[in-house]
Amino acid sequence: MASLGDKGEIGGLKVKNRIVMAPMGTNLACADGSVSPEMVAYYSRRARGGAGLVIVESSAVDFPYGSGGAAQPRADEDRFVPGLSRLAEAIQNYGARAVVQLNHAGRNRSGGWAPSDMDESELELIAEKFALAALRAKEAGFDAVEIHAAHSYLLTRFLSRAYNSRDDKYGGSLENRLRFPLKVLQEVKRRVGSLPVLVRINGREFLDGGIDLEESKEIARAFEKAGASAIDVSCGPGKTRYSLEPWITPQGWRIPYAAAIKAAVSVPVIGVGCIREPDFAQKILSENKVDFVAVGRGMIADPDWANKALRGEKIRPCIGCNLGCVGRRVFGKSPIRCAVNPEAGRESEAGYGPAGKKKKVVVVGGGPAGMTAALAAGKRGHEVTLLEKSGRLGGKALLAALPPGKERIKQWVEYLEEEIKGSGIRVLLDAPESGYKSMDPEVLVLATGAGTLFPEAVVAKRDNPEIRILTGEECLANLEVAAGKRITVIGGGGVGCELALTVAERGAEVTVVEMLDDVAADLDPITRQALKEMMAEKRILLKTGSAFEDLEEKRVIASTKSGRESWEADVVVFCWGQRPSLPQETISGIGAEVYVIGDAAEPGNFLKATAQGYWVGRSL
């Protein structure tokens, strides 16, 4: 029975434990595809965190036609070897094994190749490009390479009937569809000799005519026979909920596919798929479902995931928000960030040295922005007091943890609370926001949040006994008022949609009114689609392209695509915008450095709030 801390082996390569950092894009490479200092710092931090095997993200073997991502590393020319060497060395400095994933994006890039586009000479060329890239990785000092034949990249498209429409020896039967990917593996093996070569495949491709599990087992056996040292099992297609999962995805959902493939091959199998908890990782190892456990977003959230798992320490949880790793990186084409780990992607700037002068710092507001600022300032050696007007730290994050599947947000708040308890920060609960005035702070950080906007016509009607008018926060804090009622939510952004789901789960009949033509437009496409599917299951009525006008007795009036409409409601919840809760008189005449962060500066999300809190606190 294997344990997380047991040594492992892949193609003769000794690995210090069974924990793998999964390959994930970062957009941290330089614009020309060379390895940047930020990229080195990012990967070396995860190696320092204890991972036994670190798989560097998808790296292009053919530029520009085979590149994917806004800032993807390249391995297609010799000039990239020095940077790759620095990266491999930085990973190996901490005892981790360094692997680089090699990829051709194919039609995943606009104008890229599809299987039907390529003639024999072009197939020979691409196989050679994979092989030369692998040789460069070997010359750079990497311990192994991984060929990317998963998601919906070029090699996957040859393997899958959903994409491969060729009628020659490279299409049709599985034997034919395997021919080109196997040729790539064979060419790579010929160039790199004894260097281990891993292959990443789809355990299942969720497409009509796509790869199913039975085919995946055959594909894995074929790669093993051709010399693959290990099989890394993912699912596809790419840029969908099957490769970039939304928050609601169950932990380890891909593991059954990996387990079935492990039973079909004799080489080691790496399993991945929203693995969050060490106990779960240990369980699937103990049950012999996989040989190695790959952790992706968990290591973005906490780079010390592996060491903490092995020591039994509490891990900073990934909350599955997709704000910095998917929304910002994949769809925003910007460098990777993380809502719960403000250092992610900025490791080269991060860290704490002692402040030049110890200051008296008061932070007002105990939500994520305020807690993060207080912790950062405390680690610099300042005397920090944190004021929170309620009886518990967490702010609106505690309410954000109530929608379906969002319980990990509460775990994150609990993690921050534990950090603060051991930090020496003085915490004053049930404290008035003006309490800092008697403390004579040298630095004042205001993280007082934001309040919901109401239309003027509604403010005067909040005492109407016929209909209950609430903010989103008020509704979440008093969910019993929604049970079995007719609820209209004004504002169909992410917050409004999550609230609609929450009350629908309690038997409410819900209508959402949104001015835009789609709901959840402030979220990434994958999270948005998951929300919409869940709302459809709950029969939530979406009135998009509609503008709220007024309330009359128990009726909501709105301008919709069909004209002016009205309908009855027992409760109307406003989620259509916020404004900072920061009266100017609060800070006038204060003889201190003043910083305003989080929603108090400008309403936003966790990613923005914690980033501001961390970097302000660290700068003091």
User: Which residues belong to the active site?
Assistant: 153
* DSSP state for residue 354 in the 8-state scheme: -
CA dist 490 and 567 (Å) reads 13
DSSP β-ladder status, 571-574 and 53-60: unpaired
CB 99 within 8 A of CB 144: yes
Q: Taking Cα atoms as reference points, which of 100, 32, 36 lies closest to residue 67?
A: 32
Contacts of 456 (CB under 8 A, 6+ apart): none
CB 444 within 8 A of CB 595: yes
CA dist 112 and 154 (Å) reads 9
Q: Taking Cα atoms as reference points, which of 542, 551, 555 lies closest to residue 455?
A: 551
CB 364 within 8 A of CB 444: yes
How crowded is the C-beta side of 361, counted as CA atoms within 13 Å?
A: 31
CA dist 336 and 137 (Å) reads 24
Using alpha carbons, list the distances in angstroms from residue 140 to 5, 117, 136, 192, 443: 28, 33, 6, 12, 48
| Residue 136, φ and ψ in degrees, nearest 5 | -65, -40
Contacts of 74 (CB under 8 A, 6+ apart): 29, 32, 33, 34, 59, 60, 63, 67, 80
Longest dimension (CA), the chain: 82
DSSP β-ladder status, 197-205 and 292-295: unpaired
Q: What angle do CA 501, 505, 507 make, to 5 degrees?
A: 120
Please give the structure tokens belonging to residue 224: 């093993």
Cis peptide before 237 (omega within 30 of 0): yes
DSSP β-ladder status, 563-568 and 555-560: antiparallel
